[in-house]
Structure 1
Amino acid sequence: MNGISQDEARRAIEGQNPFPGTRGFAGEIDGALIRDVLGRELIYIETEPKQGVGRKWAFDPGQLQEPELVPAGYRYSLTEEEQEQIWNLPNPDPVTERKTALAQLSTAIETAIADVDPTIPVAFSGGVDSAYLAAATEGPLYVCGFEGSKDIIAAKKAAATLNRNLKIIELTHEQLRDATVEVVNAIGRTNTMDVTIALPLYLTAKQVADDGFDQLLLGQGADELFGGYAKVANASNDPRVSATTIREARNEVLKTIPDQMERDMRAIKNASVTPICPYLDDRVVSAALELPEELLIADDQRKVGLRQIAETKLPEEVAYRDKKALQYGSYVSRELDRLARQEGYKRRIDNHVEKYIRHLISKEN
């Protein structure tokens, strides 16, 4: 088992407890495979069982001929074609007292971070998610992007405000081309969004590994848990979500975490680095699920609760800084688009960047 003991796993199954106090888990128990409710650990099963020997499984899909990812919250039998969902994300009523909700969240985050080695590196973009982690730890800070990118500029300012050294991974087009092939092979996807998100994660992890570290602290899950998306803020009229309220939309977005974690973990682990995500600790998730809407989004401000907690540790300009998504703030998306157009894959072509990505893969093969 990864992330949990056999006894703890049995208790979680018997009690149908989706949050047994871990940062995610997966593994084999009593003739079956299980994966936690948010899919924070990965486990794969062979699609077709071999007669007489049952179904093979692995944590690494590369060890199987036809790997199938066990869905988050499920139990898959190894001897029969039997599967069942044993955990669901709870939907508790919000805590009505604002101070109580903030105190619960603050305690959960501080406890989750305290359980982490404080000397490991932080993937640092200068936004509130990574700055909070940096303020509570002492490891080196890493930012990845092209020269002049918004992430590098923001990270420099935030690191200076925190009086911390910052290692800048300044990308080139040659690095981006080479890493694109490596990332596609690692994550098994070629769509533009997944590749451009995974690229800066992989390149940061690669540098971290080169510098002698084998773990990386990340702010994954903060946007999903705390209301960081425009589509959540505009739930009542945004077609990207079916929910009509902020809390319902936040809960809908949470269901995307298992798919994102597969991509991010495979990219980072391919660089021989283990991702550590304190915001996805069970205690933090539980506290976040109880936040009232006004601590998610209020007056066009997103991630209100997290920012108010972070304000106790960070300067106001860092705690309330707006930040672009990783693929845009690093300029990775922009520059991969530029490379595609230089190779003749113009924007008038449908999915022109993905076609360019597939071109790069075909050249390697």
Structure 2
Amino acid sequence: MTEPTIRGADPATVRDALADAESLPGTTGFAGELDGQLVRDVLGRVPLYVETDPDLDPDAESQTAAWAFEPSALEDPTLFPAGAAAPVGESLPEPESHWTLPDLTPETDHAAAIDALERAVRTASEAVNQDDRDIAVAFSGGVDSALVAELLDAPLYVVGFPDSHDVEAARTAADAMGRNLTVVDLEPADLERAVPEVARAIGRTNAMDVQIALPLYLVGERVAADGFDALAVGQGADELFGGYEKVVHLDHRVDAETVRGAVREGIRSLPDQLPRDVLTIEATGLEPVAPLLHDAVVEAALRLPDDLLADEDERKRGFRRVAARYLPAEVANRDKKAVQYGSLVARELDRLARQAGYKRRMDDHVTKYVASLLEDGETTAE
């Protein structure tokens, strides 16, 4: 039997979850090798990669690694499917072939549903506070990161260009909460330097992923330089609680016919998104902390009825009701911009791409610019 190499949970918990096919066993996710099997939790909260075409011949002169937690450790990495378990070296199983996202009956008593969600959020924050880590919060001034900051009582850091929405929103939210705030002001040179580092860390060069990862990376650098061990984020709230416009309008971006169905689709997008964020934070030397992705919170979210998720008047209604018990109303009810837009990173990266000759008339011009910076960095290293 091989020595277990598991991240995110202890081996005994994962063994029990395997034996019982328990999808939400009270963790914040897990992945790795256990008793000769590769495993990854149902939401894919811990990245796990396998070699697309592994050389497992023991007599081979240069045997490649079969799996890794980082894509950079493999020659041709592929994400191991979330919710799956399979012997090391075998063909990839289907997503959710061992653990499936539970289809829970919605709680019709709104007060009971909100109370249950509050208990779950407190369970998640208490689990974080049990660990002996110095934690800071990536703070945008929105309700997600504000609730995380309040429950963890951790220092607040915001990143963005000086005239950005996020910096102003974070300042006003911190003032309303009576909290100090560290502002990480950006300039274009920060993006030029960080782009190849981020692209290598996440194993992706597409513009959207890099734009989302850059603010996390740049705020993480400052947090790490200030001596912290971990960076807490509000990731998962939009997917779990109905934070996107598409779940209200049920437009062409969703297949579902109900808000709850559209939210489930969003939750199932997390296994592809979360590795980007986790790898970005880890690349700064920090441990990622995402309390809102704790199993207890996921289970409570899956029990919310449509009208505690989102409608034309309000998104993340149930979550905001919980947040209002801890935050000033102006913060609990505040809408936010996606981080790449709120920080102005997307705007400035587009500007840099055009200045470098990658014009908007070119297909995917920012992605081409990112790839060029990555190539330049590799050439310099050689």
Coarse TM-score class (shorter-chain normalised): over 0.9
Question: Which one of 62, 78, 81 corresponds to residue 68 of structure 1?
Answer: 78
Question: Which one of 342, 359, 369 corresponds to residue 346 of structure 1?
Answer: 359
Preserved contact between residue 21 and residue 281 of structure 1 (Cα < 8 Å)? yes
Identify the range of structure 1 (38-47 vs 88-97) with the bigger mean alpha-carbon deviation.
38-47
Residue 124 of structure 1 corresponds to 139
Preserved contact between residue 199 and residue 210 of structure 2 (Cα < 8 Å)? yes
Distance 1:82 1:328, change over 3 A: closer
Asked if residue 264 in structure 1 is aligned to residue 277 in structure 2, the reply is: yes
SS in 1 for 2:128: coil
Identity over aligned residues, as a percent?
50
What are structure 1's unaligned runs of at least 5 residues? none
Distance 1:312 1:81, change over 3 A: closer
Asked if residue 25 in structure 1 is aligned to residue 35 in structure 2, the reply is: no
Tell me the distance in 1 between the aligned counterparts of 2:90 and 2:314: 50
Question: Which one of 174, 188, 192 corresponds to residue 207 of structure 2?
Answer: 192
SS in 2 for 1:323: coil
Moved over 4 A (4+): none
Q: Deviations over 1:74-119 (max 9, x none)?
A: 1121254473620111111211111111011010001101111385
Residue 11 of structure 1 corresponds to 16
Residue 302 of structure 1 corresponds to 315
Tell me the distance in 2 between the aligned counterparts of 1:243 and 1:296: 15
Tell me the distance in 2 between the aligned counterparts of 1:3 and 1:262: 13
Tell me the distance in 2 between the aligned counterparts of 1:83 and 1:344: 43
Shift of 1:270: 0.6
Q: Deviations over 1:229-282 (max 9, x none)?
A: 0111111xx101111211000000111101111111111111111110001000
Provide the TM-score with structure 1 as the length reference. 0.96
Residue 244 of structure 1 corresponds to 257
Distance 1:354 1:56, change over 3 A: closer
Aligned counterparts, 1:1-365, within 5 A: 1-47=6-52, 48-52=54-58, 56-78=66-88, 80-81=90-91, 83=93, 85-117=97-129, 120-235=135-250, 238-364=251-377, 365=379
Preserved contact between residue 119 and residue 138 of structure 1 (Cα < 8 Å)? no
Tell me the distance in 2 between the aligned counterparts of 1:139 and 1:249: 33
Preserved contact between residue 77 and residue 83 of structure 1 (Cα < 8 Å)? no
Tell me the distance in 2 between the aligned counterparts of 1:171 and 1:31: 46
Preserved contact between residue 120 and residue 215 of structure 1 (Cα < 8 Å)? yes
What are structure 2's unaligned runs of at least 5 residues? 1-5
Shift of 1:316: 0.8
Shift of 1:135: 1.5
Distance 1:324 1:191, change over 3 A: same
SS in 2 for 1:136: helix
Preserved contact between residue 117 and residue 297 of structure 2 (Cα < 8 Å)? yes
Distance 1:324 1:80, change over 3 A: closer
Shift of 1:299: 4.0
Tell me the distance in 1 between the aligned counterparts of 2:14 and 2:196: 37
Preserved contact between residue 70 and residue 76 of structure 1 (Cα < 8 Å)? no
Shift of 1:344: 2.3
Preserved contact between residue 81 and residue 93 of structure 2 (Cα < 8 Å)? no
Tell me the distance in 2 between the aligned counterparts of 1:305 and 1:90: 19
Tell me the distance in 2 between the aligned counterparts of 1:165 and 1:178: 29
Q: Number of aligned residue pairs: give it.
A: 363
Tell me the distance in 2 between the aligned counterparts of 1:326 and 1:12: 34
SS in 1 for 2:189: helix
Preserved contact between residue 119 and residue 140 of structure 1 (Cα < 8 Å)? no
The residue type equivalent to 1:25 in the other structure is F
